[in-house]
Structure 1
Amino acid sequence: MNVRDPFGLHRKSALSILKTTASRAAVDFTERAVEASVDAIEKGKQAVDDFDMSFTIPKNVPSFGNPQRIVEDHVWGNTAVARGGKTSPHPNKNAGILGGVQDRVGGLFDSRNTLPMYKDKPYAYPASQRARPIWRRKRVLAFALLLLLLLYYFGAFGRHHDTVVSSTPMWAWLTAGSESGKAADWANRRERVVEAFTLSWDAYERYAWGYDEFHPVSKKGEQMAPQGMGWIIVDALDTMILMNLTSRVTHAREWVSNSLTYDQDQDVSTFETTIRMLGGLLSAHYLSNEFPDLAPLAEDDPGAPGEDLYLEKAKDLADRLVAAFDSPSGVPYASVNIAKYEGLPAHDEGGASSTAEATTLQLEFKYLAKLTGEKYFWDKAEKVMEVVDNNSVEDGLVPIYIYATDGTFRGNNIRLGSRGDSYYEYLIKQYLQTNKQEAVYLEMWDESLRGVRKHLVTYTEPSGFTIIGERPDGLKGSLSPKMDHLVCFMPGTIALAATGGLTEAEAKKQPTWTKKNEADMDLARELMQTCWGMYKWMATGLAAEITYFHIASPPLPEGAPHHPPAEFDADPEAEWRKDYSVHGMDVHNLQRPETVESLFYMWRITGDIKYREWGWEMFKSFMNHTAVPDGGGFSSLSNANKVPPVMRDNMESFWLAETLKYFYLLFSPNDLLPLDKIVINTEAHAFPRFDMGQLFSTGWKRKPRDAEGKMMK
């Protein structure tokens, strides 16, 4: 792919053009151009000052080069505003003559773009470790910037602003001239993820700053509460910290400090607010303290007035959310009025709460309790697990609704998709969070996984893929071959449970490794392949929200012979495609993270490069089919099974908080957030593992069970 000069000119002609236009400078160089040039030079000088502020990098953090701006230049360079064509109702403030000047200048100075034109500190080499090239010295940089700006302005004023739009698809650079025959450059691929994030974030910042929802096609925002809940800003905080996006973290932190208030008469989801907002604040607190050189800010340095900003906001929010647990049973209500400190039952399902939602609050409240010493946070969250377990379910599989009034289940629907999924996820993660000190949760996880194998696992026809189905009428009812995309969290979670976060090779050396662990890893691999097939089956390469499968009648039991193909044949008539089926109402793609989440765990644990490669293919599909024109970022899809797809005009907050974060971690070195040192909540917010200490305890014991997991009388 031929890459044009950032100024739209061939480099070899730059000098001659400069000479021929120099005589025009005295006449044509307007006051506007002078002021803009000086401003740009000052920004360049400030950028160099930022670069000079070297600091020690934590040993477990990889080298973070300042991301190349190929993606942003490509998209914004093809917007209507930049072309001089029909403008959008919300013009791009960065478009026009001055649009992207810093990006373009940076591109000329350094092909690796390590010059921090965006204020985000480049973790390349500290200045003290090597002599700076001559072009990085401030005076030379300022002079060069002036010359290049002259070249840009005189060239721009002397020709039309319309540019020829390439017939190449918007994101074809991802595949054009790819690394055929070469080892993949994973650092480069990671930078592509950072670019996707910054495109998304900057579009939100431009069109919907401070709003809880962002509609990238219509370029507008909406609030979920009168003054906003920080739904997107707080959820994305720790992703930006990990990506070292200092200037963006600064802006977000300012909003959190000055604009975010929970004193609003608003009903909010107990679960969603806990995992996204409370989890996001706690993770930002953890990362900013544990890795102070990632997106470093003076405001949160030890002793600074804002040192505990994230923790203080988290405590304020948790004090309101904890009111949800004030039910007769201790099972939290589905909603909370955060101004009135009042828990509220659900408006449907007879007021029952979702089982997954009631049991996916524990990591957050336990970590907050550990940070603050406020034991009631711990006790409230822990009590829920006892109430759920005392229902004496068969084989560890729980129905998807539970009453907050008396703690009993509503209905018999059992699934690992919506309203059931993260109950199982948090069993093993609670065990790992407290450094394996709460064995009750490992016992409950093992029991549940046996139940999944016994009642929900089967194989497809004709190819023999492994799936996890549903039992909508209980364990005595029939198996539905329906699998939500949400279920694709399971491969990674199973692998995490089997190894405890160690690599598979390391775990196998442990005396605790058994044939069960081996079998669990086999199941994880098979389910991972099935989830990847959900993507390969769709026209865009992006999975549907729900996939159905063709299975035998009666369904084959777990362990039955099955031999799925190792690869997915691209032929539209390939045999494997008969196993999958997507209904017309389920073709939407919501930018969900579960499959890339599991790819991340599977790569870290197995070391099998195919999981990284699958992730790269998936990332390219997101780039090629969900990008919004005119600097809109990325959108979820209403129909992901047609090309071009139908846009949904919504950017989910978990696109920034989870999906792009997991891509980033998948392409990063393994010592960034090592899995044996941290736990990641269901919204991809990272917390440290810790010992309970003297203050905290599990506080309950399981009652004796029979072979099927039912309590013995």
Structure 2
Amino acid sequence: MSNHHWRTWVLIIFVIFAAIFNLSQSDPDSHHFRKKILMKEKVRRMFYHAYDNYMKYAFPHDELKPLTKTFTDSLSELGNLRLEHLPQNYNGSALTLIESLSSLLILGNNTEFERGVSWLSENLSFDVDARVNLFECNIRVLGGLVSAHMLAIDSRNRFSQGTYKNELLILAEDLGRRLLPAFGTPTGLPYAWINLKYGVMANETTETSTSCSGSLILEMGALSRLTGDPQFEDAALRALRKLWSLRSSMNLLGTTVDVVSGKWIEYSSGIGAGVDSFYEYLVKAYILFGKEEYWRMFQSAYVAVQKYFRHGPWYHEADMRTGHATYWQLTSLQAFWPGLQVLVGDIAAANSSHREFVKVWERFGVLPERYLLDHQMLHPTEKYYPLRPELAESTFYLYQATKDPWYLEVGESITDSLNLYTKVDGGFASVRDVSTMVLEDHQHSFFLSETCKYLYLLYDDSFLVDQNYVFTTEGHPLPVLSAWQDRLPEVYTSANYTFIQRRASAMSLQICPAMTSSTSREVDEKHESACHICDTRRDHRCLTDEDCGVDATTCRRRSCSIAGFCGLWLYL
């Protein structure tokens, strides 16, 4: 072939490939598909960099110290800010492995999941002299075991036939029984601390948080349903009911309370640390168990939050007794709130707050633990970022609800920041100071159970096909089962999703029950809002029916009364 002909064919081939490339670039669906594949693999590599280094340098201890490539037995330190009463002979409970099990399955690694389950079945024991935080132990260890058990017995996960004998459920039940003595108080509110071997210690502090008392129902309720022993769910429900009875006339709760007297210790409250998962578990318990009581609590609490905490897209803190603002600050834990709003259908409000959190992330490169809104500056002492998942979590929920590709870009920004600022040779390290990006020698277990998981699900949600899940506050998936339901619209438990054009899951179906005869457009309208409060008026009054949204219980549009209140108030 002459040089002329050779150059001609090269030019033709080049033109053809250029045309194909340009065509694919002009197709936004194709672009997003390629983006998802690339980002999925980037997140996968991120997870395994963290997981493999943990297994190499820290397992079977609790968590990895990535800078020194050593370990910490941190289960007894979680929530223990003063590091008091630390155990002498505690050598860890493989905390990060427990937290990683469901993530391994979501990433499709059945082999490593099965290997981890086998090791825990043969080696893990809770008969240890270790004082642990009830809340942290419940959401991380008990929740991790219960979730992994339910995934292990699911035939779709292809666990080797006959090799699993409910060992994780046996461990979970043993742990649950060791946590029960914490509830032995006059009020039913549990102690914040419990010794796994000896129960409540002498002279134990009687102070606990709203989250600790009000965020136990998912894990302990699931344990009761799986074992047939009601005492776990009964204890958690009694604590939740008692906590709710202590609310103010404005339906606000404080941050800390005395478990013996039932008196509030800290009256200032918000949607962040110490309170956040209380709101989260009311919604998710309703989805998981179908008990109307949870939804009624949430409706009242949610409207109170919107009325007394909300200021534009932000949520400040306020005194539960007066509703007057106390602290004007962003805390990183608040970033879970948009995800919760997606579950109840307030998509517009969720998007508004989420975008503000994204702006702060972009300003610093990560999300600082506390940012003073009134001074537009970092908190002088809480400048750290411990690899928290909440912004990734809300991004995942919003993308599931809207399919807006902008959220894929946010996820890419989060992933790139984590790799740029926190990835080290030995894993991923927390940021000690976001203004200097100086690192801290700690890789928290929730980085694998939540941060990596939500980022992965953002780009590959195939795990959610054909099954609704509720994710606990620690990111552990619990399947929504019809056998567990008191009474919940069939849309949450039925496998027939023909009334929705795309794949459905608990991430995309709001509490407002859809009618199977509805068109896709009508479903979207009915999912518009669950507890809408007019965004544009500071006095929260409505002007027209359009301000009032849709009632979550009946799916009927609410009307604006002559007095200027939406029909929702009739239900409170």
- TM-score, normalization by structure 1: 0.60
SS in 2 for 1:547: strand
Write the distance in 2 (CA, Å) between the matches of 1:413 and 1:374.
37
Write the distance in 1 (CA, Å) between the matches of 2:321 and 2:431.
33
Structure 1 counterpart of 2:343, one-letter code: L
8 Å CA contact retained: 1:394, 1:708: no
Write the distance in 2 (CA, Å) between the matches of 1:623 and 1:607.
25
Question: 1:290 offset after TM fit, Å?
Answer: 2.1
1:447 aligns with 2:300: yes
Write the distance in 2 (CA, Å) between the matches of 1:406 and 1:371.
33
SS in 2 for 1:363: helix
8 Å CA contact retained: 1:324, 1:343: no
Flag structure 1 segments of 5+ consecutive residues without an equivalent.
1-178, 460-465, 499-519, 551-578, 698-706
Write the distance in 2 (CA, Å) between the matches of 1:416 and 1:615.
23
Question: 1:453 offset after TM fit, Å?
Answer: 1.5
1:327 aligns with 2:174: no
Write the distance in 1 (CA, Å) between the matches of 2:450 and 2:44.
13
Structure 2 counterpart of 1:366, one-letter code: G
Structure 2 counterpart of 1:358, one-letter code: S
1:652 aligns with 2:478: no
2:314 matched to which residue of 1? 467
Report which of the two structures shows the higher radius of gyration computed on alpha carbons.
Answer: 1
1:640 aligns with 2:434: yes
SS in 2 for 1:321: helix
Structure 1 counterpart of 2:167, one-letter code: L
1:420 matched to which residue of 2? 275
Alpha-carbon RMSD across the aligned residues, in angstroms, is 2.7
Write the distance in 1 (CA, Å) between the matches of 2:377 and 2:237.
40
1:686 aligns with 2:477: yes
1:491 aligns with 2:317: no
Q: What is the correspondence of 1:126-525 to structure 2 with a 5 Å cutoff? A: 182-183=31-32, 184-224=34-74, 226-290=90-154, 292-293=156-157, 296-298=158-160, 301=161, 303-304=162-163, 306-342=164-200, 347=205, 351-434=206-289, 437-459=290-312, 466-471=313-318, 474-498=321-345, 520-525=346-351
User: Once the two structures are aligned, what percentage of the paired residues are identical?
Assistant: 27
Shift in alpha-carbon separation, 1:392–1:544, aligned structure 2, 3 A = closer
Write the distance in 1 (CA, Å) between the matches of 2:384 and 2:369.
6
Between stretches 258-267 and 580-589, larger displacement belongs to 580-589
2:458 matched to which residue of 1? 666
Question: 1:478 offset after TM fit, Å?
Answer: 3.2
Write the distance in 2 (CA, Å) between the matches of 1:411 and 1:683.
25
Report Cα offsets for 1:364-413 as digits up to 9, x if no partner.
01111111111111211111122112224233221011222133322311
8 Å CA contact retained: 2:209, 2:274: yes
Write the distance in 1 (CA, Å) between the matches of 2:273 and 2:227.
32
Question: 1:250 offset after TM fit, Å?
Answer: 4.1
Count the aligned residue pairs. 450
Q: What is the correspondence of 1:63-102 to structure 2 with a 5 Å cutoff? A: none
8 Å CA contact retained: 1:228, 1:260: no
8 Å CA contact retained: 1:281, 1:310: yes
Question: 1:237 offset after TM fit, Å?
Answer: 1.1
Shift in alpha-carbon separation, 1:380–1:608, aligned structure 2, 3 A = same
Flag structure 2 segments of 5+ consecutive residues without an equivalent.
1-27, 75-86, 489-566
Write the distance in 2 (CA, Å) between the matches of 1:444 and 1:344.
35
Question: 1:696 offset after TM fit, Å?
Answer: 11
Write the distance in 1 (CA, Å) between the matches of 2:477 and 2:279.
18
Question: 1:522 offset after TM fit, Å?
Answer: 1.8
SS in 2 for 1:687: strand
2:370 matched to which residue of 1? 546
Shift in alpha-carbon separation, 1:602–1:693, aligned structure 2, 3 A = closer
Report Cα offsets for 1:551-597 as digits up to 9, x if no partner.
xxxxxxxxxxxxxxxxxxxxxxxxxxxx8422342321110011111
Shift in alpha-carbon separation, 1:658–1:451, aligned structure 2, 3 A = same
Write the distance in 2 (CA, Å) between the matches of 1:372 and 1:335.
24
Write the distance in 1 (CA, Å) between the matches of 2:209 and 2:357.
25
SS in 2 for 1:336: strand
- TM-score, normalization by structure 2: 0.74
Question: 1:608 offset after TM fit, Å?
Answer: 1.3
Question: 1:204 offset after TM fit, Å?
Answer: 1.1
1:530 aligns with 2:356: yes
Report Cα offsets for 1:638-659 as digits up to 9, x if no partner.
12233xx211111011001110
Write the distance in 1 (CA, Å) between the matches of 2:389 and 2:412.
14
Question: 1:693 offset after TM fit, Å?
Answer: 5.9
Report Cα offsets for 1:136-183 as digits up to 9, x if no partner.
xxxxxxxxxxxxxxxxxxxxxxxxxxxxxxxxxxxxxxxxxxx9x944
Write the distance in 2 (CA, Å) between the matches of 1:367 and 1:326.
21
Structure 2 counterpart of 1:237, one-letter code: L
